[in-house]
A and B are shown apart, each in its own frame.
Chain A
Amino acid sequence: MPTSAQEHREVSRKITYQSELDPGFGEHIAKMAYGEKLFSCIQCGTCSGTCPVSHYMDFTPRRIIAMVREGFRTDVLNSLTIWLCASCYSCTVECPREIKITDVMYALKQEAIATGVYPKRFPVPVLAREFFSGVERNGRNSEGPLMVKFFLKTNPLSMLKNASMAFRLWTKGRLSLFEEKMRTPGVVSTLLRAAKQAGGNGK
């Protein structure tokens, strides 16, 4: 395929040694994603074909499944693919082997965040973490403050680009810069702590 990378040619190593692989990775992810169906994948590519964003991914969902099975831990967790998944569940519905691919993607995201192996400064994990801490604090998500923090942490310049939209939202009464709170936000932290102590994701 012709790409824009033509002027920038580098020789890179394209061999994988067995010693670089994590043989238990597939089983581990399959377990996190509620099932062993991962291993019945026939590499037909339906997931990639139906995915609305697969053409932006560095590895198509089909390749991710193959790599997970074979223990390509580092490549998978560093891939952009898992962060591009918008959770539209198209692949899960279409897969002829009934593999819950969306759940596999969630498992990979969790694994990447838990082990700190993910593309730095990439916006999606940052958004996920900011969302997470906001809800942990207030019990609810506050769209305005979340947006501000998100842009500050990823690309402060793009905030200017989005400022006019934010202003319009604000004038239409669709955006508040105050934090949305439950009446009793403490309840949520108690709930989460207790669920976690019972063994939240083994982390």
Chain B
Amino acid sequence: MLDPSASNGTPRIGFYICHCGTNIAGTVDVKAVAEYIGTLNGVVVSREYKYMCSDPGQELIQQDIKEQKLDRIVVASCSPLLHEHTFRTATEKAGLNPFFFQMVNIRENVSWVHTDPVAATEKAKDLARAAVRRVFLHKPLAPKKVPINPAVLVVGGGIAGIHAALTLANAGKHVYLVEREPTIGGHMAMFDKTFPTLDCAACILTPKMSAVKSHPNITLWTYSEVSALEGFVGNYKVQVKRKPRYIKEDLCVGCMECVTACIFKDARFPDEFNVGLSKRKPVYIPFPQATPQVVLFDPETCLQLKKGKCKQTCIEACDRECIDFTQTEEFKDIEVGTIILATGFKPFDPSKTPYYGYGTYPNVYTALEVERLVNASGPTGGEVVLRDGSHPKAVGIIHCVGSRDEKTNRWCSRVCCMYSLKLAHLLKEHTGAEVYNFYIDMRTPGKGYEEFYDKLLKEGVHFIRGRVAEVTDWAMDAKEEGKLIVRVEDTLIGTVRRVPLDMVVLSQGLEPRADAQDVRRLFNISCATEGFFLERHPKLAPVNTFTDGVFIAGACQGPRDIPDTVAQAGAAAAEALALIDAGHIELEPNTAFILEEDCSGCKSCVPLCPYKAISFLEDKKKAYINEALCKGCGTCVAACPSGSIVQNLFEDDQIFSEIDGLLSELAVSGGGRL
């Protein structure tokens, strides 16, 4: 059955099957598998054990290697993506080359997805047998080592990106912080107070923003986007597109003389930072603490840029001569070893829930608008004035807008309960109005969060448990005339209520940014079904991605609040530091090489390689693979007509024997030829 020439002498294989508590043993008859594999050619030891990944489990392997003189190890347990490294290390510690190991996935691929114990056990046997057959042909290999560039790219300048950048910079690493908007600060800069402590968002954020600007280890590029990326962990080449501000950034001191001098005497364009609640001029600084303190010209509204015709009063006003209408896009090429993505979220668009009347009734607001409305530096100086100029006497806050809904976003956005409570407190404090919270379930899991809820209850805020069905303006009696009417079942009392209000606040959920799919493609990572970036493991690798060297932090991975975002940003920075400080990276030695004597020189492999790792040696008329460039996809191997390319770890013979191993019992009973 076996090809003895493929390995050195007769291999001595040890097979270990893991119960994983009842995770595997509850479905797969591990004992039967172990007994069966024990009968196979070359298998010297076949054991079952409760937790193979535990220390005693690993010691079991190591002891057997030494005592039984094993030279091949097969472990049937969970996914290799989880524990392959663990068992390879264990194998190596016992003095064996770590690549004389093969892993069988009988948890994710078997016990967790099948219910019939008989069929699951048969499948586990097939998979284990295939691994035993494959491991026969394994060869000793050494992991590939590449040096790592210590510079880090951080994408996104919200609180996550700011915190990650500062952590890395403080550790002495150079950081490129790239932000799409003209200023860093992200959503947090727009908030008034933060829950549950009610400290002012700007007071805790702006010192960090200026620290970023002044840090010698941070290169800050705002109004910029990553436009291209190539390379792999340790050595990424990044191209950053810098959009023109029409201002010489290094000269501008943010004196705003140009803004005052602008030909538009009145601000008349919607101000992005105040979510359209105030106006700005074509030349502006987003908000007083914007970082960098540099103005920019909006090409959509500036007369000179749009029409090419303007008196250019701004240029006259600028004595430092920093205005430059000839500026164009600029591209910067940088090299980094690791990348942290902190691109944040998008608030749910309430026009997708037309029954709440946003856009129809002027006094229906989004939560983000209200953050600006209660903010002392906001468009109304913190006075809650409605769009019709009145002051509200009754305010309703509708939770879960766009969240927990099959038709919009299925997930709970996690932060809305708490920020709704915060806004309830602030609105009551600012206006003295009656405030109603309409919620489905009150979710306050966090340090000091339940206590905050308790505080609100004592403040006399109303809590009505029920998802609002509609916000309308048709009145049933005189008291309802001119009001917004919320119709809702008070599910705790068991009756339908109509609550007349002057102001309705929609607690919009959090969703992935509109371009999340483009960003994930650019950085070669995945998105989960809802569109947030996918972490490598939901529990054990929450800031890692499936692409080595690319980490994620903050709400781009899923809805989260500021404390969790900062914790994640710190974790991502630490993960990057761990890679950098190791000095080099160990890569899977799964590169390909050419068997020169067999190569016919047909050149069909050369254009296949996306990394240009294959060249043609004109003198020898043979192909040649530069192992340093090869990333180990194996596409050239499959294409070589003469079979003269070999991929380490995935040799043809190894895969053939895996196929044969899977089906061998079948072929015997079917009377086929082997």
Contact = CB atoms under 8 A, between A and B. Distances in A.
* Whether chain A touches chain B in the assembled complex (some CB pair under 8 Å): yes
A156 to B, nearest CB: 34
Given A46-B467, A49-B467, A97 B406 contact: yes
Interface stretch (B194-202, B387-395, B489-497, B635-643): B489-497
A47 B355 CA distance: 13
B489 A45 contact: yes
Interface string B443-479: 0000000000000000000000111111000000000
B494 A42 contact: no
A168 interface: no
Contacts of B470: 49-50
B487 A49 contact: yes
B440 interface: yes
Contacts of B407: 96, 98
Interface in A89-146: 94, 96-98
Given A45-B466, A45-B488, A54 B406 contact: no
Contacts of A45: 465-467, 469, 488-491
A154 interface: no
B491 A62 contact: yes
Which of A44, A54, A63, A97 gathers most chain B CB within 10 Å?
A: A44
B355 A42 contact: no
B85 interface: no
B494 A63 contact: yes
Contacts of A51: 496
Interface residues of A, number: 20
Which of A1, A50, A94 gathers most chain B CB within 10 Å?
A: A50
Nearest to A60: B489
Interface string B248-268: 000000000000000000000
B405 interface: yes
Contacts of B490: 45
Given A45-B491, A62-B489, A96-B467, A54 B496 contact: yes
Contacts of B469: 45-46, 48-50, 94
Contacts of B441: 42
A97 B403 CA distance: 11
Nearest to A49: B469
Interface in A4-27: none
A63 B494 CA distance: 8
A44 B496 contact: no
Contacts of A60: 489, 494-496
Nearest to B410: A96
Contacts of A42: 404, 440-441
A85 to B, nearest CB: 15
Contact of B355 (A1, A43, A94): A94
Contacts of B489: 45-49, 54, 60, 62
Which of A62, A63, A96, A98 gathers most chain B CB within 10 Å?
A: A96
A31 interface: no
A60 B490 CA distance: 10
Interface of A: 1, 42-51, 54-55, 60, 62-63, 94, 96-98
14 contacts: A44-B440, A45-B488, A46-B469, A48-B489, A49-B467, A49-B488, A49-B496, A50-B469, A51-B496, A55-B495, A60-B495, A60-B496, A98-B406, A98-B407
The 4 closest A-B pairs by CB, nearest first: A49-B469, A45-B489, A48-B489, A44-B467
